[in-house]
């Protein structure tokens, strides 16, 4: 039994390197800064390099249905931002 290839036809990305494929590709393959920020926000008194998303994230309080409310967390905001990038392809596949 041979493994079958898996294809990602659409991919939403939000990370410390950016929120679009071109910026992320450029930063991933460049020799420069990979977008780590040195901060002691998470470890007071001990600065560490961390990857931080500084992209404005969607407000989950608007546009949500009562049937499917999302808890207002940063994780859900990141998910919503990535999903917004592929929403049209998702809707088309769902149809």
Instruction: Give the pLDDT of the chain (95 residues) as one tens digit per residue.
Output: 789 998 889 999 999 999 999 999 998 888 776 688 899 999 999 999 999 998 899 988 765 555 566 678 899 999 999 999 999 999 999 99
Contact (Cβ atoms closer than 8 angstroms) between residue 17 and residue 36: no
Specify the pTM. Answer: 0.76
CB within 8 Å of 78: residues ≥ 6 apart? 14, 53, 57
Backbone angles phi, psi at 29, to 5 degrees: -100, 0
> Which two three-digit tokens encode residue 3?
């493994």
Ranges of H-type helices in 8-63: 21-29
CB within 8 Å of 66: residues ≥ 6 apart? none
């Amino acid at each position: 039994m041979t493994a079958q290839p898996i294809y990602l036809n659409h991919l939403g990305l939000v990370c410390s390197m950016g929120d679009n494929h071109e910026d992320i590709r450029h930063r991933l393959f460049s020799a420069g800064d990979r977008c780590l920020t040195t901060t002691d926000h998470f470890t007071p008194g001990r600065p560490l390099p961390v990857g931080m998303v500084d992209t404005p994230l969607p407000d989950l309080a608007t546009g949500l249905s009562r049937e499917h409310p999302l808890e207002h967390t940063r994780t859900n905001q990141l998910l919503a931002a990535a999903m917004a990038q592929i929403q049209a392809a998702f809707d088309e596949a769902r149809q």
